[in-house]
Amino acid sequence: MTKNTPGSKRRRRRGAGHRNHRTGRPQRTSTNRMTTRDETSAGGLVVSGLAEAVDEDGNVDLSKIYVALIGRLDRRGRLLWSMPKGHVENGEAKELTAEREVWEETGIHGKVFADLGMIDYWFVSDGVRIHKTVHHHLLRFVDGIMNDEDPEVTEVSWIPVSELIEHLAYADERKLARIAHDLLPDLARKEAAAGKATPR
């Protein structure tokens, strides 16, 4: 949408029936609009050490809870950390996508146990304007050995939740990290009260 700025005039869109004032012939209007497409992805944070982070008084130490992040190099060669995620396949539940993508990008198996939030953004790829919606979840660590075998991933790492916000490269994911900060203490207490422990 074009915004008016001081000193500028908004051009009126000419209808199909408008005639050129010089020739009197119907004037063609431009129909070159960029194609748009919707895409949906899912992913999130696989969490380890929830119950173990709770002390005898019920206090939660976020430095003892770890989450798996992936790092990718940008065009300038900088390593940017983000949450693992990927495209939702046809007919696939978003929770299953999150579990699959986390495993593919980190080597870690996790099970979704809470919603973290949704973000959306626009970008252009190959001349197509894409509206992407990404659903994020919290996943409980099940098993696996961390690796960076995915060709799109440069590095993977366990990061303490206490350092999560400063690690993430993107502002929208940092907002989700703040939500995780709020959710994880109560979730850790529930895990501890239920006698659950992180698999080793």
The pLDDT tens digits for 51-104 are 999 999 999 999 999 999 999 999 999 999 999 999 999 999 999 999 999 999
Contact 137, 150 (CB under 8 A): no
Q: What is the pLDDT of residue 26?
A: 52
DSSP assignment string, 99-161: HHHHHHHHSEEEEEEEEEEEEEEEEEETTEEEEEEEEEEEEEEEEE-----STT-SEEEEEEG
Name the pTM for this structure.
0.80
DSSP 8-state class, residue 109: E
- Chain centroid to Cα 20, Å, comes to 50
pLDDT for residue 43 is more than 80: yes
> From CA 177, how far away is CA 3, in angstroms rounded?
34
Where is pLDDT greater, at 16 or 189?
189
Residues 108-133: tens digit of each pLDDT: 999 999 999 999 999 898 889 999 99
